[in-house]
Structure 1
Amino acid sequence: MEDAKAALLERFRAYLEEEPGAREGSDAGIDDKHETDAPDLFTLLAELAALKNEVKLESRQVKTALEQFRDLFDSLRQANEHLSAELSRRQQDARDIALNAERDILLELVELRDRLRDGRGQAAAYRPNWLAHASGAAEFITGMTQGLSMNLRRLDETLDRREVRPIQVVGQPFDPRIMRAIEVGRDPALPIGTVLAELRIGYRRGESLLRLADVIVNKFEDHPQ
């Protein structure tokens, strides 16, 4: 400890014994060194201006990149919307094709039902004579009538499972949306436009019209007394 104090005192004594000019020169050298190391104001402002321009340039590049990404995202969104619309349209077209195909089949079935009904009606109206009984034709007609009735019942069950049901029109006001007037009749007891009879059964499938009903519509002229 004493040695350290002695060394410090010796250095301080040596400093005091130095020439003043030497100390000033030494201090000036230190100041000049600090002044040389520190940038001047012009250089500092120039560097700040360069940094500002660089930041502006980078900001402009970032903005351009964002706009490009925005355009890309818009293009992707439009392409996705177009694809979704096209997919929906194709799905709807497929459903329409399936419905139209099924509609054609159902129309064929109701036409077949008309023929079965007419055939059963003719068979049921047949009145065999003694010769038909003797030859066995009467039994054949009876069996055929029963077979037609069974087939007609099965066909009605098939149509009912497909929600195909007949339209009730007799006694109703004429409705051109579901009916087609084939003939006119005259019944003063009923209002004008009332359906008097049905020539061909109309059908609905669910809430949609499958086939128009052909009807006879009441139409008469009032004669003044």
Structure 2
Amino acid sequence: NKITQQTDLFSLFTELAALRNEVKLESRQVKNSLELFKDTFATMQDSHKQISSELERCRESQTTQHREITRTMLLEFLEIYDRIKAGIIVLNAYKTPTWQYFCKQEINLIHGLQEGQSMTLRRFEQLLEKYQVQPIKVLDQPVNPHCMQVIEISHLANVGNGIVVEELRTGFMWENEVLRSAEVKVNKIDVN
């Protein structure tokens, strides 16, 4: 019985030593796996940061490109707007001749053109409004070099110095930014 007990204790200690070695081996493997996981995780985090920053740069670039394309398109729309507005001014300045009864068709044509041009101008104004493009109010305002260009000067005694007396070309704001400067005629008082 004592031999069996010794054998059993010997077997037990042998098994415990083997188990201890196995636990050490497993512990090393877990430690190595954790190190490998940490390295992999760090690499993934770095890759994620790089991808995130690249994605952000791409988004910024895309936003900048989109804004620049929209700005160019709006400036082209403003050129068309100016031409339509000039056409309306010419049509509205048309004086009906005294012999109008002889050319009724021509007068109807002029009235039709006036109406059509006015409708087109309103549509353009709606389109510009959709893109948040607003005309700059300049008449009777002091000159603002940020949104106005002085093209002509007048010398009126009854108007203050540096006040806009005529708008030569409409300026426009787009999302709180000057899209196109207004071209204006400004009063200057001579001090002679």
Q: Deviations over 1:138-161 (max 9, x none)?
A: 222122111111221222122222
Out of 60, 68, 83, the position equivalent to 1:92 is 60
- AA matched with 2:171: G
Alignment root-mean-square deviation, CA: 3.3
SS in 2 for 1:180: strand
| Matches of 1:171 and 1:153, distance apart in 2 | 25
Unaligned 5+ segments in structure 2 are 8-23
Q: Deviations over 1:107-151 (max 9, x none)?
A: 222221111111111111111324554133222212211111122
Tell me how many residue pairs correspond in the alignment.
185
Out of 142, 145, 150, the position equivalent to 1:176 is 145
Instruction: Say whether residues 1:222 and 2:191 are aligned partners.
Output: yes
Q: Deviations over 1:32-78 (max 9, x none)?
A: x9xxx9xxxxxxxxxxxxxxxxxx99999987776665444333222
TM-score under structure 2 length normalisation: 0.75
Q: Deviations over 1:5-56 (max 9, x none)?
A: xxxxxxxxxxxxxxxxxxxxxxxxxxxx9xxx9xxxxxxxxxxxxxxxxxx9
* 1:83 corresponds to: 51
- RCO comparison, higher one (Cα < 8 Å, 6+): 2
Instruction: Say whether residues 1:134 and 2:117 are aligned partners.
Output: no
| Contact 1:164/1:204, CA 8 A, preserved across alignment | yes
| Contact 2:160/2:189, CA 8 A, preserved across alignment | no
CA 1:66–1:191 in 2, change beyond 3 Å: closer, same or farther? Answer: farther
Map of 1:155-166 to 2, 5 A cutoff?
155-166=124-135
* 1:150 corresponds to: 119
Unaligned 5+ segments in structure 1 are 1-32, 38-55
- AA matched with 2:72: D
* 2:171 corresponds to: 202
Q: Deviations over 1:173-202 (max 9, x none)?
A: 212211112122223444432222211001
| Matches of 1:61 and 1:189, distance apart in 2 | 95
CA 1:77–1:160 in 2, change beyond 3 Å: closer, same or farther? Answer: same
* 1:118 corresponds to: 86
CA 1:73–1:122 in 2, change beyond 3 Å: closer, same or farther? Answer: same
* CA radius of gyration, larger in: 1
| Matches of 1:118 and 1:133, distance apart in 2 | 28
| Matches of 1:194 and 1:78, distance apart in 2 | 59
- CA drift at 1:203: 0.8
Percent of aligned positions that are identical: 35
| Matches of 1:73 and 1:92, distance apart in 2 | 28
SS in 1 for 2:144: coil
* 1:105 corresponds to: 73
CA 1:60–1:152 in 2, change beyond 3 Å: closer, same or farther? Answer: same
